[in-house]
Amino acid sequence: MPTSAPSVLHLALAFLAAFFAAAVNSVAGGGTLISFPVLVALGLPSVIANATSTLGIWPGSLGSIWGFRRELSRAEPAMRVLVAPCFLGGAAGALLLRATSSATFDRLVPFLVLFATVLFTVRGRVQAWLGSAAGRGRRSRAWLLGALGATLLVAVYGGYFGAGMSIMMLSMLGMVGMSDLLEMNALTSLFSLCVNGVAIGLFAAAGLVYWPFALAMTAGALLGGYGAAGVARRIGRKHLSRLVIAIGYTVSALFFLRKFG
């Protein structure tokens, strides 16, 4: 954790990272693949960078919840029950990160970033599969237990690292039988809000957050999620997705070279 006050330039870069991450999240997702490597480049240890990034761009997700309020109201009560394992899994993932040494997490980061980028790359095919294969689930007791277990596992991953969690949530909802993609996106936004919310509380309590950057990023995420979303939409989902994918694979390669090169 840095002991000296950050420079104005570093604060501005943290602000811009969250600004663009939130704008990208509002259209294409994958914003963590922008904010996390910027914080590492600014000198934060990877564990601190991960926790600070999670907190910094979390406010940008509040707008998604508001935008999906109608779809959330239509979702089946059984699906909203899945919020419970989101809190539990988010807490477990955050505690797991807290127990992970910086050296161990540094070795995992290249693989985590690559995994998240691959998930983001194939998300279009996943969504196409959801459109053709969803709706097959049955609301039995076994189905509910399976849905609770699957949500818990995804939430643990989300609390630990987070990048790529949304597409994992979408896939899980499709596998348990949901068919309305808008409702699935709404629930994914709610689940992500819960997972990251509880993780943030534990990160802060454990002293894993670098607050100067976190506060700058919070302001950037709020402005980016609201003010830059329109610009991001004009650029287009396809172009933004390609940019995020390019950044993800480049960052993953750089992390591999730094750690194993």
pLDDT at position 216, please?
96
pLDDT at position 192, please?
87
**CA dist., res. 37 & res. 32, Å (int):** 8
**CA dist., res. 3 & res. 217, Å (int):** 19
- For residue 69, being part of any structural domain is answered with yes
- For residue 160, being part of any structural domain is answered with yes
Residue where the block lists tokens 């689940």: 191
Range of the domain at 44: 8-260
- For residue 219, being part of any structural domain is answered with yes
CA Rg, the chain, in Å?
18
pLDDT at position 119, please?
79
- For residue 19, being part of any structural domain is answered with yes
pLDDT tens for each residue of the chain, 261 residues long: 776 789 999 999 999 999 988 877 766 667 888 899 999 999 999 999 999 999 998 887 777 777 778 888 888 887 878 999 999 999 999 999 999 998 899 899 899 888 888 877 877 776 666 555 544 445 567 777 888 898 999 999 999 998 878 778 877 887 777 777 778 878 888 898 899 999 999 999 999 999 999 999 999 988 887 765 566 567 766 777 787 788 888 888 988 988 776
- For residue 3, being part of any structural domain is answered with no
- For residue 130, being part of any structural domain is answered with yes
How many Cα atoms sit within 13 Å of 260 on the Cβ side?
9
pTM: 0.81
Total residues found in the chain within this entry: 261
The tally of domains found in the chain comes to 1
CA distance between the termini of the chain: 25
